[in-house]
A and B are shown apart, each in its own frame.
Chain A
């Protein structure tokens, strides 16, 4: 065998035909997925741009180009959510879409993914804010929009007004999320629905972070921010935001967001957790 030419192969006709078919096939997803996926990408870039612009206030320094595979580690853990968040918010958020890609490009940063991932894991371990990854989610891979909704069923969530308490309840406990079996509740008042919607977005984001699906998380959190700018769970949202941004490798945005958190909620019970994320990043 020459070193320059690959080994000869004369596959049987059926194998050859199979391979030819696979080469020439436009793909099982041709057409159908394209529009949907583009919309999702647009939403993501809107989300990233939103997160970036909110966070850049007070953040200094230029942006660096990082490892080529930056998104790989985080993205690869993004095991199948049908991203309820981006579907729900689609209509309103698309209005913001103009120029979003450009904006997010300016905000791009990509430090090595390993560090970003370990950051989040470390925070999870030391503070127990985010659920133990993987196992606590009902079925991480097959989590469809439907099952995600079930997992964070409005009625099953505690109606505790101040967000820190709610966080402590939903995330601080070591009980697996799947144990939060929906229980019937009679009153479905409008405010309860809103609270539930708020919670649902946060739970979606939390579950996404636990899976490493940081961009999905950012999308949910941005939707939360758009719809509930002064909601009951702003602090929790901001913590998740910091974690998600750190997970994406956007250290600058994460740090700025953490900084803003400290200024806005200096006495928050979540502040240590927020600080822990940026502290881990600095290492």
Chain B
């Protein structure tokens, strides 16, 4: 059991971290959230089924985590906007979220192309981003995605269509010219 969990962890921790990035978790938060994902995985180990592919199962944890993460960020912003906390200056939570967490160290380890993908994904709203990530990056089937997200398949399709268009536009806007892997993009996130 212990060894099994460890094997799963080692094989897929990178995938989970990448998935969290794709789902909009900021670089500085990825490792912490991945930690929480695996803590939860361990807690829910009784639902692990070795006969099924592990990634979709793990992705579901990451997805929940990323969704809650987003919500918490929005909750914080709302609270700050309303001034409920009394000290809602610019060093409030979201200020930290939007600037500080994109720390240089984390960014340096991200491949330039990945960074471009993540930035383009930022242009999508979350629902489309999830579908796009699952379909185009994880190459899961529409039926599988529909089941996982509890959506009608047509909704998955329409989100996917919109996401593809928006993703393409965003990449164009961000790069202004065709991306060639050998050519480094300008550094991301440096405002």
Contacts and interface: CB of A to CB of B under 8 A. Distances in A.
Contacts of A60: none
Interface string A32-45: 11100110110011
B174 to A, nearest CB: 11
Contact of B96 (A22, A78, A101, A141): A141
Contact of B116 (A4, A18, A79, A110): A18
A181 B61 CA distance: 39
Given A33-B13, A71-B39, A18 B171 contact: yes
A28 B18 contact: yes
Nearest to B145: A6
A78 B139 CA distance: 29
Contacts of B86: 132, 135
Contact of A73 (B38, B68, B116): B68
A211 B68 CA distance: 13
Given A18-B113, A22-B117, A29-B30, A75 B72 contact: no
Contacts of A27: 14-15, 17-18
B50 interface: no
A7 B161 contact: yes
B173 interface: no
Contacts of B93: 134-135, 140-141
B178 interface: yes
B85 A134 contact: yes
B28 A141 contact: yes
A150 to B, nearest CB: 14
A1 B157 contact: yes
Interface string A205-239: 00000001101100000000000000000000000
B3 to A, nearest CB: 10
- Size category of the B interface is 35 or more
Contact of B72 (A76, A132, A139): A76
Contact of A70 (B29, B44, B113): B44
A70 B40 contact: yes
A132 B92 CA distance: 12
A18 B179 contact: yes
Given A110-B44, A142-B100, A142-B101, A76 B71 contact: yes
Given A29-B18, A73-B72, 19 more contacts: A6-B160, A19-B137, A29-B13, A29-B30, A32-B109, A34-B10, A37-B9, A71-B36, A72-B40, A76-B33, A76-B67, A77-B72, A79-B96, A79-B97, A105-B45, A135-B80, A139-B95, A139-B100, A215-B35
Interface of A: 1, 3-7, 9, 11-15, 17-19, 21-23, 25-34, 37-38, 40-41, 44-45, 65, 68-81, 83, 101-102, 104-105, 108, 110, 113, 132, 134-136, 138-142, 176, 178, 212-213, 215-216
9 contacts: A5-B142, A13-B178, A18-B179, A26-B14, A28-B109, A68-B64, A73-B68, A101-B42, A134-B79
